[in-house]
Amino acid sequence: MGKKIIIILGFIAAVLAVILAVTPLSNLAVIPIIVAFLCGLLIVFISKKDKTRTKSIQYIFLMVIIALALTIYKSIYYTSEVGNTEQLEQRDEENLEDSKELLEDIDIDEDL
């Protein structure tokens, strides 16, 4: 019973890791990678103890390796491009000038 739960948890974590690795949220794939790897190790130890072989260990480790490779690739080679910031800077300056004008127009009653 425990072995099946660990196998299911390992598969879910491995699939989630692969899905997150191919999306822009690839940095979040590290957590499911670790969970799937630990589940795979637990299954290996349980299988050695019971002297059984399961094909699921290979599939879990294969998906972990794929997700890890994609995550490392995206973290090294993916560069975020910054667009034209001149328009943003100009808009900030205009907003600052508008704010100054609004503050100058406000009459403050000092007789409180």
pLDDT at position 78 over 90: no
pLDDT digits (tens, 9 = 90+) for 35-64: 999 999 999 999 999 888 888 889 999 999
Please indicate whether residue 59 or residue 102 has the higher confidence score (pLDDT).
59
| 17: nearest Cα among 88, 71, 74, 87 | 71
Domain ranges of the chain: 2-77
Q: What's the half-sphere exposure (Cβ side, CA atoms, 13 Å) at 107? A: 2
- Taking the C-alpha atoms of residue 112 and residue 109, their distance in angstroms, rounded to an integer, is 7
Please indicate whether residue 81 or residue 96 has the higher confidence score (pLDDT).
96
pLDDT at position 65 over 70: yes
